[in-house]
Amino acid sequence: MLTAANNGLARSPTHFSGITMPVEIIPARPAHASDIARILFHAFGKISAEHGFPSDVDSLELGGMIAQLVTTRPDFTGFVAIDNGHVIGSNFIMLADEVGGIGPITIDPAHQGRQVGRRLMQAVIDAARAKGFQRLGLLQDSFNTRSLSLYASLGFTVREPAALIDIVPAEDIDPGIRPLTADDLDAADALCVRLQKFSRRNETRAAIDGGFGPLAKLRNGKLCGYLIPGIFGHANAESIADLVALLRNAAAHGGSATKSLIPLRNGDLFRALLTARCRVVKVMNQMTLGDYTPPTGTWLPSIEY
């Protein structure tokens, strides 16, 4: 194994036409988006099919949407692995608030088992540390024992089991639920800090500005919960009933809002959703690196952390 003196990252040699060529890790750019999308689709499809689960990236179109988002938004930093001029993997980290959220990480199935994933993980960890981030998080499919072992070897610890859930839409719209707006940011962030123990203010503002359909739940004119729908969103609420109402009202709009991540140690929330005929798709592990304070109350993670 060679070491690149200019960036401190090891380079794994590969043989091509009799010549030893290095796999390089370089910053991701929008020009890489089509290759990233293709690998997202094929890599997620392969590992999910092998274990009998539906893929999180079930179309090239969805892969393209994700690739465009992570390569163009300024709060994402990413890297691609290049082998003989071709993208063979990528990894990203969202550095919007106090906690860096890692993912998606994917390696072309034809190039797995070559330590590329470890190097891409180290690249985002190093990028976060260089910007002063002391806490990083990710969610990991529990059936993927290889990635679990990789993340643990890099210092990550499992903190919370989570279930990906299909949400059953509400039959009637809750009159206490409306779109979350910029005027709600102070109250929403105060609730987040109280429950999740860190701020997600910039992430929430990006969801409002980007048209991701965040919702607010009001009681007596005051915010008692909010939700950014889908697995890339998160939520905080004063009560389980408030959160279930937010989830089911969001799901009535269809699309990505019909799926959410639920912390399984909140047994009352889990049972409330099962009673509402919601269905478990798969189980994941929330993992963190660095300082960690457990959340309290009624909250939801995102696929990032």
Report cis status (omega within 30 of 0) of the bond before 22. no
**1-53 residue pLDDT tens:** 221 223 333 334 444 344 446 899 999 999 999 999 999 999 999 999 999 99
Per-residue model confidence (pLDDT) at position 112: 85
Place of tokens 């719209």: 173
Q: How far is CA 67 from the centre of its chain?
A: 13
**Mean confidence (pLDDT) of the chain:** 92
Per-residue model confidence (pLDDT) at position 17: 41
Q: How far is CA 12 from the centre of its chain?
A: 27
Q: In the numeric block, which tokens belong to residue 239?
A: 């009560």
Per-residue model confidence (pLDDT) at position 21: 63
Per-residue model confidence (pLDDT) at position 42: 96
Per-residue model confidence (pLDDT) at position 5: 25
Q: Which residues contact 118 (CB under 8 A, 6 or more apart)?
A: 150, 154
CATH number of 2-133: 3.40.630.30
**115-169 residue pLDDT tens:** 999 999 999 999 999 999 999 999 999 999 999 999 999 999 999 999 999 999 9
Q: Which residues contact 248 (CB under 8 A, 6 or more apart)?
A: 167, 168, 169, 170, 276
Note whether 21 and 85 are within 8 A (CB): no
- In the chain, list all ranges with CATH 3.40.630.30: 2-133, 165-300
Query: What kind and span of H or E run contains 262?
Result: strand 259-263
Percent of the chain at pLDDT exceeding 90: 90
The amino acid sitting at 193 is V
- Alpha-carbon span 246 to 279, nearest angstrom: 17
Does residue 281 have a pLDDT over 80? Answer: yes
- Specify the fold of 165-300: Aminopeptidase (3.40.630)
- Alpha-carbon span 265 to 286, nearest angstrom: 12
**80-122 residue pLDDT tens:** 999 999 999 999 999 999 999 999 999 999 998 889 999 999 9
Residue range 220-239: mean pLDDT, rounded: 97
Per-residue model confidence (pLDDT) at position 107: 97
Residue range 58-78: mean pLDDT, rounded: 96
Radius of gyration of the CA atoms of the chain, in A? 20
Note whether 215 and 226 are within 8 A (CB): yes
CA dihedral 28, 33, 36, 42 (to 10 degrees): 170
Per-residue model confidence (pLDDT) at position 7: 32
Percent of the chain at pLDDT exceeding 70: 93
Q: Which residues contact 228 (CB under 8 A, 6 or more apart)?
A: 180, 203, 204, 207, 212, 213, 214, 234, 235, 302
